[in-house]
């Protein structure tokens, strides 16, 4: 029987000096069968969407997208994926 499980997206340390909408977001996936490719894909999409909320967003062409937003998103997603401990999700 599956129990409630959550993933915490922590704010990337490289972005610590900025103001954000949230420092962490809980991504629930107890409604998904993450043992299937479809379930893992939905969870990954939820994680990436949550990372966009946690990390700052700047206008297109702004150098801060490369120096702050992109690394923050990559680190937040990587940490969340690693915390789930699901090979199918890690392979994404």
Digits of tens for pLDDT over the chain (92 positions)? 344 445 555 544 445 445 454 577 889 899 999 999 999 999 999 999 988 888 888 888 888 888 888 888 888 888 889 888 888 887 76
Tally of domains in the chain: 1
Q: How confident is the model at residue 2, as a pLDDT?
A: 41
Residue 49 lies in a domain: yes
State the pLDDT at residue 9.
59
pLDDT of res. 69: 86
Asked whether 46 and 29 are in contact (CB, 8 A), the reply is yes
The reply to whether 62 falls in a domain is yes
1 in a domain, yes or no? Answer: no
Entry pTM: 0.77
Return d(Cα 7, Cα 81) in angstroms, integer. 8
Query: Is 30 within the bounds of a domain?
Result: yes
- Would you state the pLDDT for residue 75? 87
In a domain, 68, yes or no: yes
Query: What is the rounded distance in angstroms from the CA atom of residue 18 to the CA atom of residue 69?
Result: 10
Domain holding 18, by residue range, is 6-90
- Note the pLDDT of residue 70: 86
- Note whether 18 and 50 are within 8 A (CB): no
Q: Is residue 78 part of a domain?
A: yes
Residue 44's H or E segment, with its range, is helix 37-54
């Amino acid at each position: 029987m599956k129990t409630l499980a959550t993933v915490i997206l922590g704010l990337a340390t490289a972005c610590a000096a900025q103001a954000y909408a949230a420092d962490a977001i809980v991504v629930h996936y107890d409604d998904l069968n993450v043992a299937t490719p479809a379930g893992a894909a939905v969870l990954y999409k939820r994680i990436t969407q949550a990372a966009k909320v946690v990390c700052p967003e700047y206008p297109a062409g702004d150098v801060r997208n490369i120096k702050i937003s992109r690394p923050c998103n990559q680190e937040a997603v990587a940490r969340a994926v690693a915390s789930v401990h699901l090979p199918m999700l890690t392979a994404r």
